[in-house]
Structure 1
Amino acid sequence: MAKVRSVIADAADISDRTAGVITWAGSWNGQRVQLRTIVDTLATRKLPTRWLSVSITEPVAVPGIFDMMMRPNSATTFSNFDHLPHILPKVLGLPAEAVLRTDRKGVAFPQDLIALHTDIFAEGRAKELLITPKGVRIVWLMAEAERARYGVFRQAAFGDAAIDPALIERLLEAASGLREAINRRERQAA
């Protein structure tokens, strides 16, 4: 909790007792934010994973849900990506491994602008970018379970994979910067 509060001073644990999920909510730079760690032990994965979900929960000027998932080869426990019915064509500049989905057919998203804010996906650890009228979320791979311990004992141990305040700050800055750019463009167009 201290590491989270070093970035989000008023962070409160709002976890709902879901196994493997811890959730904090608070404010950062005048915006409502939410952090969540999720242990994903889906049987379809080679190893259990621990995800960090960072969200800015403030309005975004988009016409529906825009979900960019990197390498979506199996179901996820942290996203509704698989339930979004429409695949979007990609513009140049978005990651080659990304698949885009939306809840509304025929809507336009500012993909050119979004592409300018996806640098964080080049590192290979960012898994999802979700943009909705209610906010922006980035999901990051914190760690995979230790192979030996999981192979022998079926225990999802993540070693020293702790929350890094600098990473939280980077992800919040990325989500916030994208949200601000989308809203600025919408204001200029109006």
Structure 2
Amino acid sequence: MSELTSALLAGVIVLALVLHLAWLARRSRKRDLAGLAVEEARIRTVIADAANVSDGTVGVITWEGSWNGQRVQLRTIVDTLATRKLPARWLSVSLTEKVAVPAIFDMMMRPGSPTTFSNFDHLEHTLPKAPGFPAEAILRTDKRGARFPQSLIASHIEIFAEGRAKELLITPNGVRIVWLLAEAERARYGVFRQAEFGGTALDPALIERLLVSMSALRDAINRHERQAA
């Protein structure tokens, strides 16, 4: 085979590979867009005016809207930090209304490694736990000496007993719960280093449950503060 023929053959192979990769990328984008449309439709069964306000951050999709007259935010986050055994897909649900707390209250379950969805690791002060909190939970705040109605909070976190809720964040500006939707398929990630989550879809019933739980907690804290005033 001549050098010219070899070069032409190599060029054809490279071109075929480039075209195949481009086709795979287009197919992946179409699949992602279709999946995003399905998730948005599911979200709107709970939050009718939900709007996609994503800022382009890779792996993060954000929706904002209103629920029962309260401002809310939903965010899905793909966490591929190397410190995790498997990539994870998280659902962050926030109720962005005022809460009568003096500082940040952050409860993290099993905080063994950094996360992409929380500033928990940057909070300097660990709080002693009142009875009723899970044994695996660590409480932190950004303000030394800040006092919180811990017994009241502990009475509103039944949802954490299911093992998939990761974080409860309470600030003067709202309440947030982070929930583990899925971990990447072990076999595919182990071989191809691709984070696939088995087609896990958002469950409107789960979104509703999280919003109801956070709304009840916020109302209880605000009512407690009014009664104490």
Letter in 1 for 2:227: Q
* Percentage identity across paired residues of the two chains: 78
Alpha-carbon distance in structure 2 between the residues aligned to 1:178 and 1:156: 34
- Coordinate RMSD, CA, aligned: 0.4
Q: Deviations over 1:157-176 (max 9, x none)?
A: 00121100000000001111
Alpha-carbon distance in structure 1 between the residues aligned to 2:93 and 2:146: 26
Offset at 1:112? 0.4
Of the three residues 61, 66, 71, the one matched with 2:105 is: 66
Q: Deviations over 1:59-115 (max 9, x none)?
A: 000000000000000001000000000000000001110000000001100100000
Q: Which residue of 1 aligns with 2:185?
A: 146
TM-score normalised over the length of structure 1:
0.99
| Structure with the larger RCO, 1 or 2 (CA within 8 Å, 6+ apart) | 1
Aligned counterparts, 1:1-190, within 5 A: 1-190=40-229
Alpha-carbon distance in structure 1 between the residues aligned to 2:74 and 2:128: 30
Alpha-carbon distance in structure 2 between the residues aligned to 1:142 and 1:10: 23
Offset at 1:33? 0.2
Alpha-carbon distance in structure 2 between the residues aligned to 1:74 and 1:46: 10
Runs of 4+ in 1 over 6 A off after TM superposition: none
Q: Which secondary structure state, in structure 2, belongs to the residue aligned with residue 140 of structure 1?
A: strand
Larger Rg: 2
Q: Which secondary structure state, in structure 1, belongs to the residue aligned with residue 130 of structure 2?
A: coil
Q: Deviations over 1:117-142 (max 9, x none)?
A: 11000000000000000000000000
Count residues with an aligned counterpart. 190
Alpha-carbon distance in structure 1 between the residues aligned to 2:83 and 2:147: 34
Higher helix fraction (1 or 2): 2
* Unaligned runs of at least 5 residues, structure 1: none
Offset at 1:188? 1.2
* Unaligned runs of at least 5 residues, structure 2: 1-39
Higher strand fraction (1 or 2): 1
Offset at 1:32? 0.2
TM-score normalised over the length of structure 2:
0.82
